Structure 1
Amino acid sequence: MGCRSGGTSPICKMKYAFLLFCLLGVASCQFRGFRQQFSNNFRGGQADDNFGGKEYHFSWRHDGGRKYTGGGAHGYCSNLGGGWQAVGISSPNEGRYINGIISNNRQQYIWTGGVRAGGGWRWLTGESFNVNDWSHTGGAGRRQPDNREGDENCLAILNNFYRDGVKWHDVSCHHTKPVICERN
């Protein structure tokens, strides 16, 4: 039941109209996707929020809830390009903001850009900590940082994990968590 003789029969015209309608629908969907991708790329695309002159990206909103090792989290942020890195908390206000994001998004924990450097702690930028929010407890019941596993060289923020509120913990970098990325 093809439309061979010029396609002038009413059935052929309906088939052509239906085919045209389907093609326009597909084209519209693809254009919408292109337009959304272009819009995201034009804006930098990855920022979920802004605070204090910085942009923030929450990995769990973009990767299906995937979790990363400490090094994998740092790589995730830098792979966003354009100056993204794992969050470094430089003020009490920024700390409260990040804690609120963790609580409001019901995240159990996140990686930061904090790393053990020699006998102290630094952000990946090389800055030393201006503020800290270490927990009074951890897995062994000791004040943080406690290096309980012997290689706890990454800083994570845990959400009431030890009934201590949203607090900083030194954690072995092989554990997996989502990450908050930032850029200036």
Structure 2
Amino acid sequence: MESVKITIRRLSAPEFSMLCPHLVDIYERAMGYSQEDTTRRISTWRSDSRHRGFNAVIALSGDIILGVAYGHLGEPSRWWHREVATGLRSSGKKAENYEAILRDYFEISEVHVEPAAQGRGIGRALITDLLYLAPASYALLSTPEVEAEDNLAFGLYRSLGFSDVLRNYCFYGDLRPFAILGRPLPLS
């Protein structure tokens, strides 16, 4: 893909919901997933847009959407929060080392860029804008583990100052190990 001007645009929850089918298509292409769960994924993403502190951004080249990122404030009632808390408790880490984070964090739920546009700074721009003035003290995200952190996602997260919170955690219902990464906010 040749060099193009990218614009980051914040979406309201209704705009995000309307665009969900297209945004989930980007997610499926970026992750290499089949489309057999597309309807369920769209429903889940739309449901996420109703959570406290929801924020979403897209990357545009003209009127073509090249990437999406969204998240919301962490909530103890949410599945992801309960899974991360369980993983941290079972890891043997001292509660005082993670309880403050779990009380006040912004969950980066998804960050995806069209495969042909990856490696051009779009993911960095999406995360930076997503977290701008995020109403929390920390940002947390999960990403699939890869050998020696050898992929663009890990490189991006490390360059933005994300560090290990929990490694090699298998979420309920998923056999793949994940890394939970976090950093204090605001971004510098």
Say which structure, 1 or 2, has more relative contact order (CA 8 Å, 6+ apart).
Answer: 1
> What TM-score, normalized by structure 1, do the two folds share?
0.25
Query: Given the two structures, how large is their TM-score scaled by the length of structure 2?
Result: 0.25
- Greater C-alpha Rg: 1
- When you count strand as a share of all residues, which structure comes out higher? 2
